[in-house]
Amino acid sequence: IEQAVVWNLIDGSGMCHGQAATFDRWQRL
């Protein structure tokens, strides 16, 4: 995966519920 953007999923009380990501391209290994 190249050029990824990752962010935490945080609710209104500040509790983290995981992460999400998006990316421009990937390469099969």
Number of domains in the chain: 1
Would you give the end-to-end CA distance of the chain in angstroms?
Answer: 10
**Euclidean distance between CA atoms 7 and 17, whole angstroms:** 11
Determine the pLDDT at residue 16: 97
Determine the pLDDT at residue 26: 81
Query: Strand locations in 1-29, DSSP E?
Result: 2-10, 16-25
Tell me the residue range of the domain where 12 lies.
1-29
Determine the pLDDT at residue 27: 84
Residue 19, beta-bridge partner list: 8
**Euclidean distance between CA atoms 15 and 7, whole angstroms:** 14
Determine the pLDDT at residue 22: 94
Determine the pLDDT at residue 18: 98
What would the pLDDT profile of 1-29 be if each residue is shown by its tens digit?
778 999 999 999 999 999 999 998 888 88
